Structure 1
């Protein structure tokens, strides 16, 4: 297996991960809305002022919708990127590097959603790091950020398939 093939494979896995997550969110919308509602009212957290809390159901729904929509977009971009990379797998280094762009944008969308929604909003704005709910969701979000971040960096790294050895 070549380094290019591994890069295609891990990008493909990020795409599948994102789409599975989106399907899960869409099929468990009612329960997810309840969780999002608890987060945006600052349930169980100290230091969340009344003016910070979001209680309007339509705003809660918009907050929730960002999650599966971002996952869907990221997943589709990653799969498209993996397809472009697959098509360019025998091309020169510059062409293969260019084929990575769409997939890297997909990873960026997922990283932005994870950091923005879970770290910036849930953890920082709504102080969910103080709650059992936050402990569960924030740990997972951080794990996903690290994994997808490392994969993004790995895929982005230029490679020269003319080298036959790493020594």
Structure 2
């Protein structure tokens, strides 16, 4: 899903939940909000930021139960984190990372540009993947290594000749 435009993501998500772009920042002081089976997105955001907000609010639609506005409650913070993690997992996949590698991309900021996300979003998504899957991941004949806070390394596995 990650290389999809905001418009195509909007189309797909709207099959499951209503989405309204509105002057939300003035009304609620936030860029996105999920309530009453509707996702609200600040209409004045860039399409990149709208895409990120839509993914997170869709994560709330999929994972959140009840009102979690009070973030001083640990259970609410946990649900907020679950929604973000859902968004990160949906936004950037291991296949996307391999695609970036095949295009010669190895820095997170390059991935962000290529996948049409902000650097911060890609950084957080990679941090989520690294926490979930580990520092070194073996996937589809590739070895994916998260070398630092800004650099990843991908290589095809090499198999010894078998005679």
Between 1 and 2, higher relative CO (CA 8 Å, sep ≥ 6) is seen in 1
Max Rg structure: 1
Same fold (TM over 0.5): no
Structure with the largest fraction of strand = 2
